[in-house]
């Protein structure tokens, strides 16, 4: 579905990405793990066009694309690390979804309000909260709105940047359940960036280990414990 | 006049705005400023309600008389009622300042917004152009513009606008730049909002509170400049009632008739003060940093 | 020349002022001459513009420079007092600052003249351009600028006081004066120098108003006359010259900031 070949990027004279290759098959959930500063977030941001890679190419369903431009903006959606910062303080939960539905011209105009409401409800945001703005919603509720907004675009790939790190423990557990549900319902291809293996173990089919700006291991989740060769991957496997 | 950069707070998140409902947070200065502005507004309406002599009605028998029952603020060198002229000048003086401010915003808002959002070469070229104008002292440039156009109230408004807009555009650009780098602005674009919508719905609302501060403080400085120009005789021309021009006319007589000096000067001071107080009040509401105390 | 000018006279005048050439060439000529400080002759007096300006420039520079010194002194006093003062004194000082910024200089000048010249007789209005005659105009010009700069000094100090290194200094038990001179002053000196240089531009412009009231024989008189008589060469020369002086001041301030900042100096030394 989504492939990247030879992505490289320098920042302040330092390589943050060195020739990254990556493939996400349709319906597959890929976990991307590594220490902070290894380049995980930069890679995710390059894939949605928030940053530009200096070298390499990205293809989506077989055709070469520029992330963030044209209809690629719709087809690859992104979930930000901190949902309270990524939702506009000026829009209600419904307003945020409507912005996406209208922006990408999805569905008939008349049905959009109902569509937004049902999407928010499916993701577990009670109807009473639909007209609230982010500052009167909890972190977990904001996360649901942000996820609903990403799904409203009807993307082909969803990229999640540390979706759990800004949430408290109880909300982390419910969010993992939510993401599993979403995947089961939509069969969406996902790339989940995390510094922690535990959530990836419950979500990912395959795992990429990033170290010092390179992909050092690319394995099916089930093989991580027995087939990992790189010391960092082995260290992660040992935490299971 | 030229240290505005540091006085303007950066954009703030909306939740802070909710606290504005708490009356204890509104400083006395702000309230005083609002009361003064409202007072000037009422003063401008006074001729409709009360029966006042016309601002340019002369009574040559009552020249340079001090305050009396007939003329509460006395009369000037042509026997005109100072109070009537003072009130007649409210729409002229404040109107000129607001017109100049509107002209400044008409240029600086689009200029700053486009430069801040476009970035790169467009931004660099637009800001260098503004820098060229800012290389001249503001009042000097205004004087030159008036010199080339010929002295009139319109020329002084245009001159002030021409000299004041670049610093304003710089402030707008700085605000837009920091507002457009917020996560939720970029998120809105990725989630489908068009560029226009991002600007109108997500960037401008962030900038508005700080912009209100800028506009209020700038109006004060523009009002000061315009009345100075009228005082120099190159702004509003006699017999137009204007506070600065009234003071200019009072100059030869102020040893004999100090009342001609006190009243219009006080009017300018209070009007400038009102805009400054409102601006500073709003600014201190937006700026919630607390310094450490010894 | 009669009442009705002969065609030859008009042609001669047009040639003298260069009006017979194409617009672009006239502009190029003007730019070339402006670079050499040749602005032609004053339309009103017939004398060379630069001679007129050279006659009045020293008085304006003296006024603006002494007003700048006054403004710096006022700003440092007001700003640091407001920063260290208690809650109510501080609020009072800030109120005074806003009031001083709001008083128009022309009115302030008239009030000062009324008090000091007409009532007390401490100063005279029609002077001979000596240094004592400079005191009242310089005070008038420096009060508003000093207050505006004082507000900035206060802002800077307040911003620094929100920083951790000041909290550390307070925790170490240092007194307000030590913290102000030892920890805060070095960090705000650079921005303040830049602000002072910028204020000089405002003072050059403001000088016009003050000069006109006190009869100080500076450029202000010249430019007001030029505006009234539509004497374009004088206006052009005034604009260009003031821009140059302002530019030179800003440049000097920037250089001073770079030279006084050890980090920047080291970086420049490396390159």
Confidence of residue B74 (pLDDT cuts 50, 70, 90): confident
Torsion of CA C145, C146, C150, C153, to 10 degrees: 80
User: Residue C176: which domain range?
Assistant: 45-260
Tokens 């060195």 — which residue?
A: A18
Confidence of residue B252 (pLDDT cuts 50, 70, 90): confident
The verdict on residue C233 lying in a domain is yes
Q: How many other β-carbons are positioned within 10 Å of the β-carbon of residue A28?
A: 19
The verdict on residue C189 lying in a domain is yes
Share of chain B above pLDDT 90, in %: 52
The better pLDDT of the pair B17, C228 is held by C228
Q: How many other β-carbons are positioned within 10 Å of the β-carbon of residue C97?
A: 25
Over 70: is that where the pLDDT of C268 sits?
A: no
B51 SS3 class? coil
Residue B173's alpha-carbon distances to B111, B126, B217, B285, in angstroms, are 8, 10, 17, 22
The verdict on residue C58 lying in a domain is yes
For B237, which DSSP code?
A: P
Helix orientation angle between C87-102 and B204-231, rounded to the nearest 10 degrees: 60
- Of the CA atoms within 13 Å of residue C172, those in its CB half-sphere come to 12
Point out the least confidently predicted range of B192-206, B230-244, C173-187, C221-235: C173-187
The better pLDDT of the pair B145, B250 is held by B145
Torsion of CA B5, C66, C135, C218, to 10 degrees: -100
Torsion of CA B116, B122, B128, B132, to 10 degrees: -100
Mean pLDDT of B218-233: 94
Which chains does chain B touch, 3 or more C-beta pairs < 8 A? A, C
Beta-sheet strands, E only, within chain B: none
The better pLDDT of the pair C187, B162 is held by B162
Closest by Cα among C145, C198, B88, B187 to A153:
B187
CB B268 within 8 A of CB C104: yes
The verdict on residue C152 lying in a domain is yes
Domain count, chain C: 1
Per-run averaged pLDDT (10 residues), chain A, 240 residues: 90 87 92 88 92 90 88 92 90 95 91 93 93 91 94 94 88 91 92 91 91 88 86 86
Chain A contact for B195 (CB, 8 A cutoff)? no
Position C107 scores a pLDDT of: 92
Mean pLDDT of B49-76: 75
The better pLDDT of the pair B220, C257 is held by B220
Say how far apart CA A98 and CA B111 lie, in whole Å. Answer: 31
* CATH code of residue C137: 1.10.3720.10
Return the bridge partners of A4, or none: A22, A58
The verdict on residue C234 lying in a domain is yes
CB B180 within 8 A of CB B163: no
Say how far apart CA C161 and CA C188 lie, in whole Å. Answer: 11
Mean pLDDT of C241-247: 90
Position B14 scores a pLDDT of: 40
Judging contact as 3 or more Cβ pairs under 8 Å, the answer for A and B is yes
Task: Chain B: give the shortest CA distance to residue A71, in Å.
Answer: 10
Q: Considering chain C, what is the average pLDDT of its residues? A: 83
Position A58 scores a pLDDT of: 92
A31 SS3 class? strand
Say how far apart CA B174 and CA B170 lie, in whole Å. Answer: 6
Closest by Cα among A192, A199, A83, A79 to A143:
A83
For B240, which DSSP code?
A: S
Confidence of residue C169 (pLDDT cuts 50, 70, 90): confident
Spatial CB neighbours of B113, under 8 Å, sequence gap ≥ 6: B172, B173, B176, B199, B203, B204
Of A49, A86, A152, nearest to B187 by CB-CB distance is A86
A34-48, B22-36, C166-180: which is most confident = A34-48
Say how far apart CA B118 and CA B112 lie, in whole Å. Answer: 10
Share of chain C above pLDDT 90, in %: 19
Q: Considering chain B, what is the average pLDDT of its residues? A: 84
Mean pLDDT of C194-212: 89
- Rounded to the nearest angstrom, the gap between the alpha carbon of residue A41 and the centroid of all alpha carbons in its chain is 10
What is the chain B residue with the closest CA to C251?
B135
What is the chain B residue with the closest CA to A73?
B190
- The interface predicted TM-score (ipTM) is 0.89
Task: Chain A: give the shortest CA distance to residue B14, in Å.
Answer: 6
C234 SS3 class? helix
Chain B contact for A50 (CB, 8 A cutoff)? yes
Q: Which of residues 87-106 of A touch B (CB under 8 A)?
A: 87-91, 96, 99-104
Position B289 scores a pLDDT of: 52
The verdict on residue C39 lying in a domain is no
């Amino acid at each position: 579905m989504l492939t990247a070949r030879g992505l490289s990027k320098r920042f302040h004279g330092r390589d943050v990405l060195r020739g990254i290759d990556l493939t996400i098959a349709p319906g597959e959930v890929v976990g991307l793990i590594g220490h902070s500063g290894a380049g995980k977030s930069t890679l995710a941001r390059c894939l949605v066009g928030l940053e530009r890679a200096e070298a390499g190419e990205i293809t989506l369903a077989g055709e070469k694309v520029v992330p963030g431009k044209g209809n690629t903006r719709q087809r690859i959606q992104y979930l930000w690390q901190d949902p309270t910062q990524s939702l506009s303080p000026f829009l209600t939960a419904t307003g945020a979804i409507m912005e996406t539905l209208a922006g990408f011209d999805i569905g008939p105009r008349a049905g959009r309000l109902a569509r937004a409401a049902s999407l928010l409800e499916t993701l577990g945001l009670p109807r009473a909260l639909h007209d609230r703005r982010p500052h009167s919603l909890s972190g977990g509720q904001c996360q649901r709105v942000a996820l609903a907004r990403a799904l409203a675009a009807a993307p082909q790939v969803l990229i999640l940047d540390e979706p759990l790190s800004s949430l408290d423990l109880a909300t982390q557990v419910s969010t993992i359940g939510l993401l599993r549900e979403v995947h089961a319902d939509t069969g969406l291809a996902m790339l989940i960036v995390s510094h922690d293996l535990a959530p990836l173990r419950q979500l990912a089919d395959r795992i990429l280990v990033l170290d010092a700006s390179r992909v050092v291991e690319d394995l099916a989740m089930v093989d991580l414990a027995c087939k990992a060769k790189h010391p960092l991957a082995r260290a992660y496997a040992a935490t299971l | 006049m030229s240290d505005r950069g540091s006085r303007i707070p950066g954009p703030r998140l909306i939740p802070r705005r909710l606290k504005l409902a708490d009356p204890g947070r509104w400083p006395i200065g702000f309230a005083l400023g609002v009361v003064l502005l409202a007072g000037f507004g009422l003063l401008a309406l006074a001729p409709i309600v009360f029966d006042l002599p016309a601002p340019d009605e002369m009574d040559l028998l009552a020249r340079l008389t001090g305050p009396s029952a007939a003329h509460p603020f006395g009369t000037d060198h042509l026997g005109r009622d100072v109070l009537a002229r003072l009130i007649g000048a409210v729409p002229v003086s404040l109107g000129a300042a607001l017109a100049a401010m509107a002209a400044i915003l008409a240029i600086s808002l689009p200029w700053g917004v486009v430069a801040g959002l476009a970035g790169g070469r467009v931004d660099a070229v637009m800001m260098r152009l503004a820098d060229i104008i800012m290389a001249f002292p503001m009042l000097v440039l205004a004087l030159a513009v008036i010199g080339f156009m010929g002295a009139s109230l319109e020329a002084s408004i245009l001159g002030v606008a021409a000299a004041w807009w670049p610093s304003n555009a710089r402030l707008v650009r700085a605000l837009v730049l920091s507002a457009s780098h917020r996560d939720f602005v970029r998120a809105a674009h990725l989630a489908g909002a068009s560029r226009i919508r991002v600007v109108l719905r997500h960037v401008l609302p962030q900038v508005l509170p700080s912009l209100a501060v800028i506009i209020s403080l700038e109006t004060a400085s523009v009002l000061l400049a315009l009345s100075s120009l009228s005082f120099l005789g190159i702004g509003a021309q006699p017999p137009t009632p204007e506070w600065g021009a009234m003071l200019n006319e009072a100059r030869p007589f102020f040893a004999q008739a100090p009342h001609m000096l006190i009243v219009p000067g006080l009017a300018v001071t209070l009007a400038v003060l009102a805009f400054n107080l409102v601006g500073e009040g709003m600014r201190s509401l937006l700026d919630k940093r607390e310094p450490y105390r010894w | 020349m009669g009442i009705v000018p002969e065609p030859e006279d008009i042609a001669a005048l047009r040639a003298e002022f260069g009006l017979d050439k194409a617009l672009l060439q006239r502009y190029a000529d003007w730019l070339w001459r402006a670079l050499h400080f040749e602005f032609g002759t004053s339309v009103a007096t017939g004398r060379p513009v630069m001679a007129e300006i050279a006659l009045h420039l020293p008085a304006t520079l003296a006024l603006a420079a002494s007003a700048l010194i006054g403004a710096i002194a006022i700003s440092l006093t007001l700003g640091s007092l407001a920063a260290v003062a208690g809650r109510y004194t501080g609020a009072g000082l800030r109120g005074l600052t806003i009031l001083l910024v709001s008083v128009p200089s022309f009115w302030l000048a008239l009030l000062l003249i009324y008090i000091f010249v007409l009532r007390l007789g401490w100063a005279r209005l029609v002077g001979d351009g000596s240094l004592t005659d400079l005191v009242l105009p310089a005070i008038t010009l420096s009060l508003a600028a000093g207050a505006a700069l004082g507000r900035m000094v206060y802002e800077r100090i307040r911003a620094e006081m929100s920083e951790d290194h000041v909290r550390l200094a307070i925790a170490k038990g240092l007194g307000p004066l030590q913290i102000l001179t030892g920890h805060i002053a070095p960090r705000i000196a650079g921005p303040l120098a830049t602000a002072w240089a910028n204020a000089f531009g405002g003072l050059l412009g403001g000088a016009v108003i003050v000069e006109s009231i006190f009869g100080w024989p500076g450029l202000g008189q010249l430019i007001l006359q030029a505006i009234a008589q539509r004497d374009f060469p004088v206006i052009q020369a005034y604009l260009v010259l003031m821009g140059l002086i302002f530019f030179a001041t800003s440049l000097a301030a920037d250089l001073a900031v770079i030279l006084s900042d050890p980090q920047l100096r080291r970086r420049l030394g490396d390159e």
